Chain A
Amino acid sequence: MTKNRHGDSENDTGIRYVNLYEADDKVYMRRITGFYQRLRRYTGLPLLAGFLLMPWLIIDGRPAMLFDLPERRFHVLWLSFGPQDGMYLAWLLIIAAFLLFTVTVLVGRVWCGFTCPQTVWTQMFIWAEFLCEGDRNKRMKLDAQPWSSKKVARKGAKHGIWLAIALVTALTFVGYFVPIRELLVGLVTIDIHPVAAFWVFFFTAATYMNAGFMREQVCKYMCPYARFQSVMYDKDTLTVFYNYIRGEPRGPRKPTDDRHEKGLGDCIDCSWCVQVCPVDIDIRDGLQADCIDCGLCVDACNTVMDRMNYPRGLISFTTEDAIEHGHTRVFRPRFLAYGAILAVMLGVFAYSLSERLPVGLDVLRDRGTRLYRISGHEVENVYTLKINNKDRETHTYDLTVSGEYPFEVEGYRALPVEEGEILTVPVRVAVPREALDEVKTSVTLRIEARDDPEIFTEHTTTFIGPAPRGH
C-alpha cells in the first residue's frame, strides 16, 4: 500500500481511497513591492491607527467609543445609546450591507483585499514572519530544516512578535468595552475583572490563531462574502483579471526570444502571480471565489513584464467586458439602483439621528380595579410614566397636561433622572366632573427638562370618566 502526500492510499485491487479531508498546503507568500502593495499598506495603516487610538480618545469626559455592557449604555462619539435604540444598530447593519453590495458591484471585493481586519492583521503577521525568517525561499528552507538553535531563535522571535501584536489587539478590543485606562491599570496592578481578563486572553488567542495560522482559511471557509460574491458580480465589475487573450499560450522563453515567432503569448509562466498570492490560487484560472482582490499578483506580473520589456497589465484590475469588448459600462441599472437605495437610507438615517430626542416618555394607564376614580368633585385617572433620559446629563422634568377639558396633574414627583435611567413614576390626572361630558377622551402629557426647554417630548393617551350626568 502506498500513500501520497494527501494521505490517499492505493492497493493492488484497483480501488483508491481518497481522503475526504485534506490539509491545505501552507502558503509561503513571496514578498512583492508595487502600487497595490503600497496601496494595501496605506489603507491598512490608518484603519489600524484608528482602531488602536479610538479607545484612548476622550469626548465629554468619557471614552469616545465605549460599549458599556453591564450598564447597557453605548457611547459613540457625542451620542449615547441604550437598548431601546436597537433600531439604529439594525439600520446601520442594513446600510452597511447595501454599501457592501454597491461597492462589490462596482469594484469587486476591495474590502477583502485592502481593509478587512483579517487582511490587515495577516499582513502584519507576515511582516513579522519576513523580519524573522526571511522571504519565501528562506522560509521554505527553514521549515524543511531539522530543529536547531537558530531555527528555534527565529521561530521564537516570530511567535513572540505575533503574541505581542495579538495582546495589543486584544487589550485594545476589550478597551472598547471597559475603559482602556482602567483596563491597563488593572493589568499592571493585577486587579483586573475576571471577565475582562478572560476576554483579553480569548482575543489574544483568537488573533494569534487567526492571523498566524488560519489566514486564508478564514476567507475560504468561514467568511460568507466569498460565497455570495458571484451573485453581485457582473461583466462590468472591476476585479483582478488575467488577460488570457494576450497571455495565452503561455510558456517559458529566453528574454532574447521573439514570442511571436515562437507562437507564445505574453505569459512566461514564471508563477510569480501564484507565489505572491495570499490565498494560494492561480489567477490565470479565471475569477474564483477565493480571490480577495488584493492586487499583489498585478504587482508581481507588472514587475516581470517590466523585466521582459513587455507592456504592463497582463494581470490587472479590469472587467470582463473590457477584456472581451474593450469597454466597461460603469453606470448600469444595478449599480444605480443600489446607489440610490443607499443614498436614501443614509439620508434618512442621518436625519433620524439628528432628530433623535434626548428623552423618551411612555405612558401606561393604571390597570387597577376601576377605570377611573371619583375623588370629591373630580374624576381622576392614574397613569404610570416611564421617563427615559437618553441625554448625557441628569435632568429633572416638569410635567404638563393638555386636552379638550381642563385637566390638571396631581401628585407628580419631579425626581432627578440620571443619564440612561428610566424613571417609573405615577401621576394622577384630574378634571372637574361637571366639565367632562364624554366617557372617553384623550389627554396629552408633556415633559420638559427644567434646565433646558429644548429637551421635551409628549405622549397622548386616553382618559376615561363616568357617563356624563343627564345621559
Chain B
Amino acid sequence: MSTFWSLWIIVLTLTNLALLLWVLLANRKVAVRDDEDPENRTTGHVYDGIEEYDNPLPRWWFKLFIATFIFSGIYLLLYPGLGNFPGLLNWTQEKELRGHQQQAQARFSDQFGEYAATPIEELARNPDAMKMGLRLFANNCAVCHGSDGGGNWGYPNLTDDAWQWGGSPERIKQTLVEGRQAAMPGWSAPLGEEGIAQVTEYVLSMAEREHDAEMAAEGEPLYNRNCVACHGADGKGNINLGAPDLTDDVWLYGGEPSGIRQTLRVGRNGVMPAQGDLLKDDRIHILAAYVYSLSLNYDEE
C-alpha cells in the first residue's frame, strides 16, 4: 500500500470514530422548553389514539457504546487496521495460516507416522490404516485410477493381479515415490500397415485367442526381431521396463485387434507422476499398503 492510501485509510478510520463519538456525546442530552408540560413524557406522536412514551434509555447502554470505542481503540493498536501500521502484535493472516498448517502437520504426522515402521503386508490388513489409505487414495489417485482403483482406459486397474511395473510391496512403493514412464514406440514406419496386422495376429496367438494362423506365422519373426527385447519371447513382459504381459486378457489400451493395431501404430507412453515430493514418506507408505491391499482382495475373491 502506498503512503497516500495508507494515510487515506488512517484518516478515514479515525475521522469516522471521532464523528461517531461526537454523535454519541452530542446527543446525550436533549433540550426541552420549560413551558412544556413537565409531567408530559410522551413524544407527541399519536397513532390511532395511541401515544408514544419518550422514556430514557438505560444508562448501561451508553456505557456499552463507550466500551465499543475502547474496544476499537485497543483493536486498532494491536491489530493491523490503520493503513500500513502492522499493529503491536504483528499479526498477519499468513502467520495465522502457517500456524494452523503446522498444527495440522503435527497432528497428521502423529497419525500417519504411527505406521511408518509396520511392513506393508501387515499394514494392508490393518483396518485403521486402510481407512486412512481410502481417504488418501480418494484424494490423490482416484481421479485417474477410479475411486475403486479399478482403472480406466489408459490407467491401470489396481485391483487385479496384473502389474505393469511389479506388484510386490517394494515395487508399488517405488512406483508411487518415483513415478513411472512407459515407452512403447510407434511401429508404423518400420513395420508398415501389413507388418502391424501380422504382429497383431501373432500377439493374439500368444494369448491363445482367435487369430489368423497364416498371418501370425508371418508376424512371429517380426515380433522376435522388434518386440522381444521388452515383452520377452513368451510375451510375458518385463516389470523393470514396464512392458506389459501380452498373454493375459488385461489390456490397458483396448484388447480388441483394432486396439492392438492402434497401439502398435502410434505407440503408448503412459505416465505415472512421482508422488514423493507431494505426499511425503509416511503417507506413501500407507498408500502403498492400500494399493497392495486392493489386489489382496482380488486374490481372496
- The residues of A with any CB-CB pair to B shorter than 8 Å are 6, 8-10, 14-24, 217, 220-221, 366, 368-370, 373, 375-376, 380, 382, 384, 410-411, 413, 415-416, 423-428
Closest 9 CB pairs of A and B: A22-B56, A426-B147, A426-B148, A23-B59, A14-B34, A21-B62, A17-B29, A21-B59, A16-B32
Interface string of B203-221 (1 = CB under 8 A from A): 0000000000000000000
Interface string of B20-41 (1 = CB under 8 A from A): 0000000111111111001000
Cβ-neighbour of A19 out of B29, B61, B127, B301 (below 8 A): B29
Cβ-neighbour of A22 out of B32, B59, B152 (below 8 A): B59
Cβ-neighbour of A376 out of B249, B294, B297 (below 8 A): B249
Report the Cα distance A176→B159, complex, angstroms: 47
Cβ-neighbour of B146 out of A9, A22, A220, A366 (below 8 A): A366
Question: Smallest distance from the beta carbon of B42 to chain A beta carbons, Å?
Answer: 13
Nearest opposing residue in chain A for B56, CB measure: A22
* Contact B62–A380 (Cβ < 8 Å): no
List the one stretch of B1-9, B131-139, B278-286 in contact with chain A: B131-139
Report the Cα distance A15→B31, complex, angstroms: 6
Q: For residue B62, which residues in chain A have a CB less than 8 angstroms away from its CB?
A: 21
B153 within 8 A of A: yes
B150 within 8 A of A: yes
B130 within 8 A of A: yes
Question: Smallest distance from the beta carbon of A393 to chain B beta carbons, Å?
Answer: 16
* Contact B153–A20 (Cβ < 8 Å): no
* Contact A373–B152 (Cβ < 8 Å): yes
B190 within 8 A of A: no
* Contact B147–A366 (Cβ < 8 Å): yes
Report the Cα distance A411→B30, complex, angstroms: 79
Contacts known (A15-B31, A382-B148); A21 close to B61, Cβ less than 8 A: yes
* Contact A18–B30 (Cβ < 8 Å): yes
Q: For residue A217, which residues in chain B have a CB less than 8 angstroms away from its CB?
A: 58, 60
* Contact B32–A21 (Cβ < 8 Å): no
Cβ-neighbour of A23 out of B27, B32, B33, B58 (below 8 A): B58
Task: Say whether chain A's binding surface is mostly helix, strand, loop, or mixed.
Answer: strand
Cβ-neighbour of A428 out of B38, B56, B131, B150 (below 8 A): B150
Report the Cα distance A143→B32, complex, angstroms: 33
Question: Smallest distance from the beta carbon of A73 to chain B beta carbons, Å?
Answer: 18
* Contact A411–B297 (Cβ < 8 Å): yes
- The residues of B with any CB-CB pair to A shorter than 8 Å are 27-35, 38, 56-62, 127, 130-131, 134-135, 138, 142-143, 146-153, 157, 159, 249, 294, 297, 301
Cβ-neighbour of B58 out of A9, A22, A369 (below 8 A): A22
Question: Smallest distance from the beta carbon of B79 to chain A beta carbons, Å?
Answer: 20
Q: For residue B134, which residues in chain A have a CB less than 8 angstroms away from its CB?
A: 413, 415, 423-426
Report the Cα distance A385→B96, complex, angstroms: 35
* Contact A368–B32 (Cβ < 8 Å): no
* Contact A221–B58 (Cβ < 8 Å): yes
Q: For residue A423, which residues in chain B have a CB less than 8 angstroms away from its CB?
A: 131, 134
* Contact B34–A10 (Cβ < 8 Å): yes
* Contact A375–B150 (Cβ < 8 Å): yes
Nearest opposing residue in chain A for B159, CB measure: A411
Question: Smallest distance from the beta carbon of A365 to chain B beta carbons, Å?
Answer: 10
Q: List 7 A-B contacts (CB under 8 A).
A: A9-B29, A20-B56, A23-B60, A24-B59, A369-B153, A382-B147, A426-B146
* Contact A21–B28 (Cβ < 8 Å): yes
- Greatest chain A CB density within 10 A among B29, B127, B138 is at B29
Task: Say whether chain B's binding surface is mostly helix, strand, loop, or mixed.
Answer: mixed
* Contact B57–A22 (Cβ < 8 Å): yes
Q: For residue A14, which residues in chain B have a CB less than 8 angstroms away from its CB?
A: 33-35
- Greatest chain B CB density within 10 A among A8, A10, A424, A426 is at A426
Q: For residue B27, which residues in chain A have a CB less than 8 angstroms away from its CB?
A: 20
Q: For residue B301, which residues in chain A have a CB less than 8 angstroms away from its CB?
A: 410
Contacts known (A21-B59, A424-B134); A380 close to B150, Cβ less than 8 A: yes
A21-B61, A382-B147, A424-B135 known, 19 other contacts, Cβ within 8 Å: A8-B29, A15-B34, A16-B32, A16-B38, A17-B32, A18-B29, A18-B31, A19-B28, A20-B57, A23-B59, A217-B58, A221-B58, A369-B153, A375-B157, A376-B249, A384-B147, A411-B297, A415-B127, A423-B131
Question: Smallest distance from the beta carbon of A204 to chain B beta carbons, Å?
Answer: 20
Question: Smallest distance from the beta carbon of A407 to chain B beta carbons, Å?
Answer: 15
Report the Cα distance A14→B35, complex, angstroms: 7
Q: For residue B159, which residues in chain A have a CB less than 8 angstroms away from its CB?
A: 411
Q: For residue B147, which residues in chain A have a CB less than 8 angstroms away from its CB?
A: 366, 368, 382, 384, 426
* Contact B146–A424 (Cβ < 8 Å): no
Cβ-neighbour of A15 out of B33, B58, B142, B150 (below 8 A): B33
Contacts known (A21-B62, A382-B147); A15 close to B32, Cβ less than 8 A: yes
Question: Smallest distance from the beta carbon of A342 to chain B beta carbons, Å?
Answer: 32
Q: For residue B59, which residues in chain A have a CB less than 8 angstroms away from its CB?
A: 21-24
Question: Smallest distance from the beta carbon of B82 to chain A beta carbons, Å?
Answer: 28
Question: Smallest distance from the beta carbon of B215 to chain A beta carbons, Å?
Answer: 25
Q: For residue A9, which residues in chain B have a CB less than 8 angstroms away from its CB?
A: 29
Question: Smallest distance from the beta carbon of A3 to chain B beta carbons, Å?
Answer: 11
Q: For residue B149, which residues in chain A have a CB less than 8 angstroms away from its CB?
A: 411, 426
Q: For residue A23, which residues in chain B have a CB less than 8 angstroms away from its CB?
A: 58-60
* Contact B58–A21 (Cβ < 8 Å): yes
Q: For residue B249, which residues in chain A have a CB less than 8 angstroms away from its CB?
A: 376
Nearest opposing residue in chain A for B155, CB measure: A369
Q: For residue B31, which residues in chain A have a CB less than 8 angstroms away from its CB?
A: 15-18
Contacts known (A368-B146, A370-B152); A413 close to B130, Cβ less than 8 A: yes
Report the Cα distance A8→B59, complex, angstroms: 13
Q: For residue A6, which residues in chain B have a CB less than 8 angstroms away from its CB?
A: 56
Cβ-neighbour of B32 out of A18, A220, A376, A413 (below 8 A): A18
Q: For residue A370, which residues in chain B have a CB less than 8 angstroms away from its CB?
A: 152-153
* Contact B138–A428 (Cβ < 8 Å): no
Q: For residue B60, which residues in chain A have a CB less than 8 angstroms away from its CB?
A: 23, 217
Report the Cα distance A16→B29, complex, angstroms: 10
Report the Cα distance A382→B145, complex, angstroms: 11
Question: Smallest distance from the beta carbon of A288 to chain B beta carbons, Å?
Answer: 11
Cβ-neighbour of B131 out of A10, A15, A376, A415 (below 8 A): A415
Nearest opposing residue in chain B for A22, CB measure: B56
Report the Cα distance A365→B33, complex, angstroms: 77
Report the Cα distance A10→B36, complex, angstroms: 14
Q: For residue B143, which residues in chain A have a CB less than 8 angstroms away from its CB?
A: 368
Report the Cα distance A376→B250, complex, angstroms: 9
Nearest opposing residue in chain A for B34, CB measure: A14
Question: Smallest distance from the beta carbon of A27 to chain B beta carbons, Å?
Answer: 13
* Contact A20–B30 (Cβ < 8 Å): yes
Q: For residue B297, which residues in chain A have a CB less than 8 angstroms away from its CB?
A: 411, 413
Q: For residue A15, which residues in chain B have a CB less than 8 angstroms away from its CB?
A: 31-34
Report the Cα distance A370→B143, complex, angstroms: 11
Question: Smallest distance from the beta carbon of A421 to chain B beta carbons, Å?
Answer: 8
Cβ-neighbour of A17 out of B30, B127, B131, B142 (below 8 A): B30
- Greatest chain B CB density within 10 A among A8, A220, A380, A413 is at A413
